[in-house]
Copies of this chain bind each other. A is one copy, B any other.
Amino acid sequence: MRSEELGETLLPKRLALPIFASDPLSSVAYATQEILLVLTVGGTAFLYLTPWIAAAVVALMVVVVLSYRQVVHAYPSGGGSYEVVSRNLGANAGLVVAASLLVDYVMTVAVSVASGVDNIISAFPGIADYRVPMAVGFVALLTAMNLRGVRESGKAFAAPTYVFIGAILLMIATGLVRMVFGDAPVAESAAYGVTASHGKDSLAGLALLMLGLRAFASGCTALTGVEAISNGVPAFRAPKSKNAASTMAVMGLTAIVMFIGVTALALVAKVHYVDDPCQLTGIAGDCAAFTQQTVIAQLASAIFGGSSSLLFYLVQAATALVLILAANTAFNGFPLLASILAEHRYLPRQMHTRGDRLAFSNGIIALAVVAGGLLWLYGADVTSLIHLYILGVFTSFTLSQIGMVRHWNRALRTETDPAVRRAALRARVINAFGAATTALVLVIVLITKFTQGAWLAVVAAVLLWLMMRGIRRHYDAVAAELAVDDPQAESARPAQVHGIVLVSKLHRPTLRALGYAEAFRPDTLEALSVAVEKDATEELTRQWDAFGIGVPLKVLDSPYREITRPVVQYVREYRRSTPRDAVAVFIPEYVVGHWWEHLLHNQSALWLKSRLLFTSGVMVISVPWQLSSAPRADHPARRAPGAVRRGEPEQRRKVPEPERL
């Protein structure tokens, strides 16, 4: 089964890290910013909470990474959260995760692209007016790339992530060195005053707690994408689980270092980042039109010396690129998850068949349309979009950790080897703690984000969940309807077959259809035409005699110049008079090569065919005539998106020989 090819295409760790980590690492570009944005609601008074909130986020990340390392070991097949939850908590809980993940893929595209555009605008403020067109343009570009089947495994896809990591670490290091030498960087926005939002200047008690929780919930965006590696274990080289787990550790460590570094520098450099620019004082011009630089851009500018420095542009370019790549990961993950759901009959079957390119196209286009629509609707505003984001992330975190606890419970019931039991007991503790923690965060996110937009994500996930259950119910009902009770009785064949060849003109396709119909030797055979235009019908009957065609020609009247109805009625009456027989309708069809030729041919044949098929006991036979424009060879198959991260082999096959007619 071509398995010898498998080894070649598997990912070494140095390639797996950038491919799976562009999504979680790129969150660094907006997590700190979102924390600051929430805390500045009360002027600069509450910024003292930042380190505590950052510490909580880091602790949470440690818990989640440790928890998912257990998933990687327990489920090396790479099914990810959906598989873990379906197997351990049942199909309905699995569907909740699936719906959350589908929503999250959409949000990954929207948030990453919006943040990427934000960072480009921070480097080139002149193009701030084109925020939405740029964002939609990037979505369109990613869609086109994925529809064309561009592979993501290459070094071209790995390089930006390393450049991003390098650039951010260099920035952090430079900032720290400057601090040590007493030349601490100062952000441009440090000069701006920050006024509190109305009535938010003195919070205490519950209100202060809520503010802290909101800031924490926003900071949790740093965790998005952390689970990606657990879906991609089969793509790693052996020992798969071990390599995946260590890659995950490296990724977690890198993310934590970058997040702490950026947050610390933002505090040192006194970056002021607010929800509403009109909270800022001391800015030039109209506050409503003022465009804030992203936190990353403010830091790069402060540390590397403003917008004249090459390194500033490098940081911005790497950040924007890695964010666009993070969006691309959703274009790989979404159709893959859809394919698994389709295999389980929760989505239309055609999303499953892997080899056919079309299977993934629908998923890619659906993702692009919804994400593009959200970007347009929310004006590509990162903060608004993030409110919709992390609910799904933490739903799937929580459910999969609960599922893992069940998994270990079950394993412990049968396991007797003390070493394995010890490992399982330890893993259960980790996952139970992970479940409790992420469940708590989920509640926090729900409370603090629901009214700010997260309700929309909830509604979308619920609708998806209902739709997937409905589709499954439909497939089950059809399967029951089609199940065979009595093979002997139900395979009774018709007594006789009556052949009818539909004729409009006496041209080559008609002659071929007549020849094929005769070759079949049906019990009776006649040709059928509809008299739509008098002249044409007379010409047809004249030629019929002149050509000496042996098959009798019957012409149906059509007072209203229709074709479909007289034919369908004729066939139905035929059926009614001979209910034990079958009717075979031969339809000559053109096969064309260009898409626009479809608009010019075969429309009435298609319509007639679909009407005929509603009649039981009728089969419809397409006898094709290949026009000279029809292609002679198949298209070579393209690789489906996500193949690299699924660890699927390259499809090497020769293009079939062009066929000679």
Query: A493 to B519, Cβ gap below 8 A?
Result: yes
Query: A560 to B354, Cβ gap below 8 A?
Result: yes
Residue of B nearest to A648 (CB): B560
Residue of B nearest to A3 (CB): B559
Query: B491 to A519, Cβ gap below 8 A?
Result: no
Please report which residues of chain A, range 220-248, place their CB below 8 angstroms from some CB of chain B when the two chains form the complex: none
CB neighbours (8 Å) of A492 from chain B are: 515
Query: A659 to B572, Cβ gap below 8 A?
Result: yes
24 contacts between A and B (CB under 8 A): A353-B532, A355-B562, A355-B564, A355-B565, A356-B562, A358-B607, A478-B627, A482-B625, A483-B507, A493-B515, A494-B516, A494-B519, A497-B520, A520-B520, A520-B584, A562-B637, A572-B656, A591-B613, A613-B622, A613-B624, A614-B626, A620-B621, A621-B621, A622-B622
Q: Known A481-B627, A484-B508; judge A603-B518 contact (CB<8 A).
A: no
Please report which residues of chain A, range 582-620, place their CB below 8 angstroms from some CB of chain B when the two chains form the complex: 582, 584, 586, 589-591, 597, 599-601, 603-604, 607, 609, 611, 613-616, 618-620
Q: Known A356-B564, A496-B519, A507-B483; judge A348-B600 contact (CB<8 A).
A: yes
Residue of B nearest to A505 (CB): B482
Residue of B nearest to A623 (CB): B619
Instruction: State how many angstroms separate the Cβ of A284 from the closest Cβ of chain B.
Output: 28
Query: B656 to A569, Cβ gap below 8 A?
Result: yes
Query: A349 to B604, Cβ gap below 8 A?
Result: yes
CB neighbours (8 Å) of A482 from chain B are: 505, 507-509, 625
The 0/1 profile, CB within 8 Å of B marked 1, for residues 613-653 of chain A is 11110111111111110111010010000000000000100
CB neighbours (8 Å) of A521 from chain B are: 521
CB neighbours (8 Å) of A522 from chain B are: 520
Query: B591 to A614, Cβ gap below 8 A?
Result: yes
| Cross-interface CB contact of A497 among B519, B547, B548, cutoff 8 Å | B519
Query: B582 to A651, Cβ gap below 8 A?
Result: no
CA distance A637 to B620 in the complex (A): 23
CB neighbours (8 Å) of A505 from chain B are: 482
CB neighbours (8 Å) of A586 from chain B are: 619
Query: B516 to A619, Cβ gap below 8 A?
Result: yes
Q: Decide if A549 is an interface residue (CB 8 Å cutoff).
A: yes
Instruction: State how many angstroms separate the Cβ of A336 from the closest Cβ of chain B.
Output: 14
Interface size of A by CB at 8 A reads 99
Query: B624 to A616, Cβ gap below 8 A?
Result: yes
Instruction: State how many angstroms separate the Cβ of A596 from the closest Cβ of chain B.
Output: 9
Instruction: State how many angstroms separate the Cβ of A581 from the closest Cβ of chain B.
Output: 8
The 0/1 profile, CB within 8 Å of B marked 1, for residues 494-536 of chain A is 1111000000011111011011101111100000000010000
Instruction: State how many angstroms separate the Cβ of A358 from the closest Cβ of chain B.
Output: 7
| Cross-interface CB contact of A491 among B514, B604, B616, B630, cutoff 8 Å | B514
Query: B506 to A484, Cβ gap below 8 A?
Result: yes
| Cross-interface CB contact of A611 among B471, B569, B615, B634, cutoff 8 Å | B634
CA distance A546 to B520 in the complex (A): 30
Q: Decide if A568 is an interface residue (CB 8 Å cutoff).
A: yes
CB neighbours (8 Å) of A607 from chain B are: 356, 358
CA distance A628 to B477 in the complex (A): 10
The 0/1 profile, CB within 8 Å of B marked 1, for residues 350-381 of chain A is 10011110100000000000000000000000
CB neighbours (8 Å) of A450 from chain B are: none
Residue of B nearest to A347 (CB): B600
Query: B622 to A620, Cβ gap below 8 A?
Result: yes
